[in-house]
Every structure is written in C-alpha cells, then in structure tokens.
Amino acid sequence: MRITAEHLNFTYNPSSPFASKALKDVSLTIEEGEFFGIIGHTGSGKSTFVQHLNGLLRVPTSLKKYKAKKPKKGEILPPKTVLTVGEFDLTDKKTDFRALRKHVGMVFQYPEYQLFAETVEADVAFGLKNFSEKKLSDDEVKDAVKQALEIVGLDYEAMKDASPFDLSGGQKRRVAIAGVIVTRPEVLVLDEPAAGLDPLGKKEIMQLLHKLHKEWCQTVVIVSHDMDEISENCTKAAVFSEGEVKFVMPPSELFRHADELFSLGLDIPRTAKICRALEQRGVTLECDFTTEDLIRKALALKG
C-alpha cells in the first residue's frame, strides 16, 4: 500500500485559546516496501502525522459533521488536501476507517502499557477478534496468535497462558507488537519502538522489525530520534520540524545535509560525523552511512 499525503494541515483545539498548528502543508509519499524513518523532535508534528495514517486523527473533510463552506467570490481556495493509503481515501466521509486500521497497524510508544488481558493469548487475540467480520473458531484464533507470537520470537506454548504482567520488559513489548501484527497489516507504523530499552534490547527490536519487514508487513514506518537507528535501518527518511516536512530522502543523502540538520536542532549519525571529520582532513569517503559500509570503504581507501 502506497501512502500519499499532499497539503495536509492539522490544528489541535481549533478555535480555543490553546489552538496549535501541528501540521503545515505536509506533502509526503511513502512507497510500498519501504522501511521508512520519520525524524523530528517532540512537537515537530511527526506523531500527529502518523496518527493520520490509520485515522486516529482525521482530515476535517472526512468527519461526519463536516459541511463544505461555499467559497466567497474571489476567494482563493487553499490547495486540496490529499491523503491516501492504498485504496483508502482518508479525506472522504464514506471511507471505512475501521477497515483501514486493519491494514495499517500502529504500535505506540511504550506499547507494553496497553496490555490488559489475563493471558498473553487473550491479549494478542484482542485485535484479531475485533477486526474479523465473522466469529473465528478457536483453532483459527490459536493459529493466528501462534504465528504472531512466533514471528516476534516468543514461544507460543510457554507463553500463551502466562499473564502479560509477569513478563520481562522486553517480552512485554514483543507481546504488544504481536497484538498489533496479528491481523497481518500491510503497513506497520511504530512510534519509537526501541525507547527505554537497553542496547541489547534495542538491537533485538530492530532485528525483529527487519524480520517483520521481510516476512510479514510490506511497509514499515518507524518514528525515531535516534539518527544511528535511522541510518542503519531505513531505506528512506523524512525530517519533520515545526509541523513542516524539511527533507524526504534516503539516509545516505540526508545525512550529508549536516549543517541544515544541526540548525534544526537535530543530530547526524556517528558514521556521518566520522565522514565529515575525514572530509575536513582532505579524505573523501563516499558511504551510505551504515556502519558496515563505512568500515568497508575505509579499509578500501587503505587498499
């Protein structure tokens, strides 16, 4: 599923003293198959943007109570907002937003805090049962849950009857992710999937996402402010700042714009810092800013 946004605007609490414009004329395309990174500070609009992707936040024209205003004579209309995810037109009132959510899985920050059921199996099955039109048989549920737990690296038999609250932090997060991917969404969006984990936990979660990207969900979108994470993992990235999209490009190009990123208060990955420092010393190292490529190219320079 391809995601396209054009001229997307969003304001929190409009017509109140607390009104704040969170998105300003955002245009962005995420192609199917991408491992896409969204970068930005807290309050840059990145979370607002991703919450549009499964209809948790809505374009005003898609709301039931929306009434089109007749334009005044001579008034210049703002450019039309476009927001589509695959076949779904998110600006349309007639769109079935629940059906959309089945196709766009969303893993929030610290997803382990959304666990609620008595057993791991029941928790993972929650979304599955919600989304299915017909009543699923026990075997169907069991099958789906088993596969979801296994792909996130948990043993179904050992886990299914355990209380999700008795698990370790890392396991809880995996169960929460299983609870989202169990419906086999084509797009998986994760907000800071590695937040709060120790280095090993981080590494494992990123490995898991690559596995999911390969075997389970065509498109993976991660929101992150860890530049190393972006440069190591993403095929393409967008930079949000103050509600606007500043860059959309592969990390290998993005992190050459170091000065612009610094001026936005953002950092660049370690690898890009090394390349930059080398450049200042008259050594050009053309790499895509992944660790492995940097090492390879550096060794090649030596010959």
Partner 1 sequence: MKAIEFRAVDFSYDNGGFAIKKLNFSVEEGEFVAVLGHNGSGKSTLARLCNGLLEADGGEIEIFSMPVSEKKNLYEIRKNVGIVFQNPDNQTVASIVEDDIAFGAENIGLSREEIGERISFALKAVGMEEFRHSTCTRLSGGQKQRIAIAGVLAIRPKIMILDESTAMLDPRGRKEVMDVVTRLNKEEGITVLLITHFMEEALRADRAVVMNRGEIVMQGTPQSIFARHEELETYNLSLPRIGYICNRLRDGGIPVHDTLDEEQLAEEIAQCVLRQSI
Partner 2 sequence: MLKDVSFGQYYPVDSFVHRMDPRLKLVFLIAYIVAIFLAKNFYGLGACLLVLVLAVAFSRVPVRKVLRSMKGILFLVVFTAVINLFFYRGEEILFSWKFITISKEGIIFSIFLVLRLFLLVMCSSLLTYTTTPVALTDGLESLLTPLKWIKFPVHELALIMSIALRFIPILMDETERIMNAQKARGANFESGGLIKRAKAIIPVLIPLLLSAFRRAEELGDAMDARCYMGSKNRTKYKKLKFGWRDLIGFLLVAALITGVVLLRVYLGATI
Sequential DSSP letters for 221-270: EEEE--HHHHHHH-SEEEEEETTEEEEEE-HHHHTT-HHHHHHTT----H
Residue 102 site contact among partner 1, partner 2, none (CB < 5 to 8 Å, cut-off depends on kind):
partner 2
In contact, 226 and 194? CB cutoff 8 Å = yes
Q: Contact region for partner 1 (CB under 8 A) — 99-107, 181-189, 197-205, 254-262?
A: 197-205
Residue 294 site contact among partner 1, partner 2, none (CB < 5 to 8 Å, cut-off depends on kind):
partner 1
Q: Does 116 bind partner 2 (CB under 8 A)?
A: yes
Which of 13, 216, 237, 18 is closest to 107 using CA atoms? Answer: 216
Question: Residue 189 is encoded by which pair of tokens?
Answer: 């969006």
β 104-107/88-89 pair status: unpaired
Q: Does 270 bind partner 1 (CB under 8 A)?
A: yes
Q: How far is the CB of 22 from partner 1 (least distance, A)?
A: 15
Q: Does 16 bind partner 1 (CB under 8 A)?
A: no
Q: Does 274 bind partner 1 (CB under 8 A)?
A: yes
18 burial (CB, 10 Å; 0-12 / 13-18 / 19+) is: exposed
List the interface residues with partner 1, window 40-99 (CB under 8 A): 41-43
Q: How far is the CB of 16 from partner 2 (least distance, A)?
A: 7
Q: Name the one residue in this structure whose structure tokens are 């169990």.
A: 182
Q: Does 243 bind partner 2 (CB under 8 A)?
A: no
Single out the residue of 81, 95, 171, 183 in contact with partner 2 (rule: CB under 8 A). Answer: 183
Which one-letter amino acid corresponds to residue 9? N
What CA–CA distance (Å, rounded) separates 156 from 43? 39
Element spanning 105, H or E: strand 104-107
Question: Residue 28 is encoded by which pair of tokens?
Answer: 């962005």
What CA–CA distance (Å, rounded) separates 34 from 55? 21
Tell me, residue by residue from 203 to 242, as one string, x for binding to partner 1 by CB under 8 A and - for no binding: x---------------------xxxx--------------
In contact, 35 and 233? CB cutoff 8 Å = yes
Q: Does 153 bind partner 1 (CB under 8 A)?
A: no
Single out the residue of 29, 114, 218, 291 in contact with partner 1 (rule: CB under 8 A). Answer: 291
Single out the residue of 115, 120, 178, 254 in contact with partner 2 (rule: CB under 8 A). Answer: 115
Number of residues that bind partner 2 (CB under 8 A): 29
List the interface residues with partner 2, window 83-102 (CB under 8 A): 98, 101-102
Instruction: Give the three-class secondary structure for 143.
Output: helix
Question: Residue 36 is encoded by which pair of tokens?
Answer: 């896409």
Q: Does 207 bind partner 2 (CB under 8 A)?
A: no
Q: Does 271 bind partner 1 (CB under 8 A)?
A: yes
Q: Does 168 bind partner 2 (CB under 8 A)?
A: no
What CA–CA distance (Å, rounded) separates 298 from 303? 9
Site of interaction with partner 1 (CB under 8 A): 41-43, 168-170, 195-201, 203, 225-228, 265, 267, 270-271, 273-274, 276-278, 280-283, 291, 294-295, 298-299, 301-303
